[in-house]
């Protein structure tokens, strides 16, 4: 049953081909159940291909093409995992800029599994406590994050989890943080510097 905690809130789910299916569908279900309006945002229109681990899953309809989506319209952001999905998004400057808006405006972000990878490029992890799929641990620590091995970690509006097994805890904490709204003081130092990497100024 809908609980209405996110009534009137609009949430973007940023993904592309290769997303881990359940890491998109379960958060979307939880958000809608809480009353949120949810849009799938992707670099291309039409549909994007989901995966169940290494096997192709279902395709999901894109609600907003990235070039036509305004991050200002959304109150929260979800970043699903899947190995291919975040790797592709990291190459899309518009995707990184979209994420960067949520960091700068201190809006809640929920990222699971490989999803936190794109947060590095958006300058969102320096000084943040978080988790992820284990293979991202070194990258996140090198970018300044405090990486911990827990099913769900919350750091002032940034919600992260490790894998699909963590989805119940991830979704519950995501709804809770999105209901709270903006979190002052959560901006990563890289985002304040305006770039992917403080040692590499963007043009």
10-190 is classed CATH 3.40.50.880: yes
| Whole-number pLDDT of residue 132 | 98
Residue 189: pLDDT over 60: no
**DSSP 8-state symbol, 193:** T
Q: What is the pLDDT of residues 149-175, one digit of tens each?
A: 999 999 989 999 999 999 999 999 999
Our CA angle for 49, 58, 166, nearest 5°, is 90
Query: For this structure, is 113 an active site residue?
Result: yes
Q: What is the pLDDT of residues 43-97, one digit of tens each?
A: 999 999 999 988 899 999 999 999 999 999 999 999 999 999 999 999 999 999 9
Q: How confident is the model at residue 32 (pLDDT cuts 50, 70, 90)?
A: very high
Boundaries of every domain in the chain: 10-190
| Whole-number pLDDT of residue 200 | 28
| Contact in structure between 77 and 28 (CB atoms under 8 Å) | no
Strands 55-61 and 47-52: antiparallel
Q: Kindly report the average pLDDT of the chain as a whole number.
A: 90
Which of 53, 54, 101, 114 is catalytic? The answer is 114
Tally: H helices and E strands in the chain: 7, 12
Question: CA-to-CA distance for 151 and 136, rounded, in angstroms?
Answer: 15
Which of 39, 53, 54, 113 is catalytic? The answer is 113
> Percentage of residues in the chain with pLDDT exceeding 70?
89
| Contact in structure between 115 and 167 (CB atoms under 8 Å) | no
Residue 38: pLDDT over 90: yes
Question: CA-to-CA distance for 79 and 60, rounded, in angstroms?
Answer: 15
For 97, left (φ over 0), alpha (ψ -120 to 50), or beta? alpha
Residue 111: pLDDT over 70: yes
Count the Cβ atoms, other than its own, within 10 Å of residue 189: 14
Average pLDDT over every residue of 109-128: 96
| Whole-number pLDDT of residue 182 | 76
Q: For residue 198, which of 125, 107, 111, 114 has the smallest C-alpha distance?
A: 125
């Amino acid at each position: 049953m809908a609980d209405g905690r996110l009534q009137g809130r609009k949430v973007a789910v940023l993904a592309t081909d290769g997303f881990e299916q359940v890491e998109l569908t379960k958060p979307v279900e939880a958000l809608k159940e809480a009353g949120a309006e949810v849009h799938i945002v992707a670099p291309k229109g039409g549909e994007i291909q989901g995966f169940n681990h290494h096997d192709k899953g279902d395709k999901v309809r894109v609600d907003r093409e990235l070039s036509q989506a305004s991050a200002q319209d959304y109150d929260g952001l979800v970043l699903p995992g899947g190995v291919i999905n975040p790797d592709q998004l990291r190459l899309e400057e518009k995707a990184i800029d979209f994420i960067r808006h949520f960091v700068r405006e201190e809006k809640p972000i929920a990222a699971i599994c490989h999803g936190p990878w794109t947060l590095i490029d958006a300058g969102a992890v320096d000084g943040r406590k978080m988790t992820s799929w284990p293979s991202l641990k070194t990258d996140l620590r090198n970018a300044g994050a405090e990486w911990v091995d827990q099913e769900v970690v919350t750091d002032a509006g940034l919600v992260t989890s490790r894998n699909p097994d963590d989805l119940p805890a991830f979704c519950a904490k995501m709804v809770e943080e999105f209901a709270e709204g903006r979190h002052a003081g959560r901006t990563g130092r890289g985002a304040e510097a305006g770039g992917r990497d403080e040692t590499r100024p963007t043009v």
